[in-house]
């Protein structure tokens, strides 16, 4: 199969309510677009959520890492490309390139997904999915950014708390993956965004949280410009961890 | 000019992170699409923000009222149509129709806009804008929903407070119009959304709020299923008022 068929390519525009006070697309909206592209790419090739759901399976996002030189500016067009890098028994690596209006690659992203059985919540074997056809789409397009790494947060003093509300909840009844990104970025003072931009953002999704859960945010500055954040629900269980690197 | 040229028509899909736990498009996202369509329609006809900004003018949204029989479901296509109903000296009425995947009109919206001079912040005369050309686009397409009405909130006991954060702020440095909608809908318990849906949502934008402002929410149940909400900043000045009618 040609790489053309393996790589999905999708156009967007940086809408006015999707940019921050600097006029640059927000990381949450970019994350949303990336996950949508993953969905488009998978369903166009027969392994999307709709098809999987028929057999009681679904995709679960485990890791997301985004590394950028620049964010699209308000009203600018940009393109997201996505492809499958690896398929293992329990995980698959899906990568992305973000391309600006002039065709220049301004960033990349990596994601790691598992498939679970909706009845048992147990992971499913990706190599047998639809006769292993997902493997046909594996593509060696370069993705020159670091793989998601381990994120540790040592502090036990939360810097913020909030209760999950109506707007946080998705069709599965969980706080949606994008909302976590927004809540994490809201921990930082606006002055930081005035002088710096996010160069790398990483998320590790660990457990689901639900409507009414109290989410506590634990934040550590691990080195200059690099912050690790952990979200726990109801005081104990870890929901997700993030790494935010400013430049 | 034919009505075809006067009415703008724009297609969307209800994306997974844009639907609520019922799988229906959220009111905030619909509001975002409506305002984008207003922008597309105006710029395609020469009176969009980009053109206005060159002369130091901009559009300001004053009122928005959305009335719906149904919200698009996850992954469904839908269309937003928009046109100019009236142009007065200081205000213009722009209407919308929301059309489902089968071509059925499932809702309408009305909006009221002013134009201001960015230097003086004073309202500008719409009838002289670009030689009065906006008037050529006035269209008598029906919009069979009530006009925005007066919203009064008597209580002085806030039911919620929050501080405006990074994600709330748009390119103008203001809390963005859509975030207010989301924060207001987050006041209601999820159980209300389990048994009912929003039939009508109205917003009156009164003043701007900024990063770090403390927003207080005052809510009143004025009749069964109808709630009025007022947002004040820093304990005193009214920022906006909303009417939410469930059914």
How much is the ipTM here?
0.94
Contacts of B215 (CB under 8 A, 6+ apart): B161, B162, B163, B164, B175, B183, B209, B231, B232, B233, B239
- Per-residue pLDDT reduced to its tens digit, A87-108: 999 999 999 999 999 999 999 9
- pLDDT score for A7: 97
- pLDDT score for B9: 97
Q: Which 3 state secondary structure label does DSSP give A60?
A: strand
Which residues of A fall within a CB distance of 8 Å from B61?
none
For the full predicted model, state whether its pTM sits above 0.90.
yes
Contacts of B37 (CB under 8 A, 6+ apart): B8, B10, B80, B82, B96
- Per-residue pLDDT reduced to its tens digit, A161-196: 999 999 999 999 999 999 999 999 999 999 999 999
pLDDT > 90 in chain B, percent: 87
Q: Which 3 state secondary structure label does DSSP give B2?
A: coil
- Beta carbons of B166 and A16 less than 8 Å apart: no
Nearest CB to B186; choose among A19, A50, A167: A167
In chain A, the residue whose alpha carbon lies closest to the alpha carbon of B211 is: A190
The C-alpha atoms of residue B152 and residue B222 are separated, in whole angstroms, by 10
What average pLDDT does range B58-76 have in this prediction?
A: 96
pLDDT of residue A59 exceeding 90, the answer is yes
Q: Which 3 state secondary structure label does DSSP give B33?
A: helix
Which residues of B fall within a CB distance of 8 Å from A172?
21
Q: Sketch out chain B's domains with CATH numbers.
A: 1-135 (3.10.129.10), 158-244 (3.10.129.10)
- H/E stretch holding A115 reads strand A105-117
pLDDT of residue A129 exceeding 80, the answer is no
Helix axes A27-44, A177-185, angle to 10 degrees: 160
- pLDDT score for A163: 98
- pLDDT score for A149: 92
The maximal CA–CA distance of chain B, rounded, in angstroms, is 52
Write down the H helix ranges in B130-241: 177-185, 190-195
B50 vs A125 pLDDT, higher one? A125
Which residues of A fall within a CB distance of 8 Å from B171?
16, 19-23, 74
């Amino acid at each position: 199969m040609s790489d053309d068929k393996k790589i999905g390519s999708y156009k967007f525009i940086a809408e006015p309510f999707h940019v921050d006070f600097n006029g640059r697309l927000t990381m949450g909206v970019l994350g949303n677009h990336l996950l949508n592209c993953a969905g488009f790419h998978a369903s166009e090739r027969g392994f999307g959520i709709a098809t999987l759901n028929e057999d009681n399976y679904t995709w679960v996002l485990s890791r997301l890492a985004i590394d950028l030189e620049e964010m699209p500016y308000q009203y600018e067009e940009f393109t997201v490309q996505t492809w499958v890098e690896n398929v293992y028994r329990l995980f698959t690596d899906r990568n992305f390139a973000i391309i600006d209006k002039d065709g220049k690659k301004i960033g990349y992203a990596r994601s790691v997904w598992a498939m679970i059985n909706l009845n048992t919540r147990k992971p499913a074997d990706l190599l047998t999915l639809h006769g292993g056809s997902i493997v046909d789409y594996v593509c060696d397009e370069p993705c020159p950014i670091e793989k998601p790494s381990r994120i540790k947060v040592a502090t036990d003093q939360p810097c913020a708390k909030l209760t999950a509300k109506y707007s946080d909840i998705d069709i599965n009844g969980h706080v949606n993956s994008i909302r976590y990104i927004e809540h994490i970025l809201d921990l930082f003072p606006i002055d930081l965004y005035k002088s710096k931009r996010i160069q790398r953002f990483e998320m590790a999704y660990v457990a689901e949280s639900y409507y009414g859960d109290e989410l506590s945010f634990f934040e550590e500055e691990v080195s200059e410009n690099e912050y690790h954040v952990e979200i726990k629900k109801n005081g104990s269980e870890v929901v997700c961890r993030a790494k935010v690197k400013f430049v």
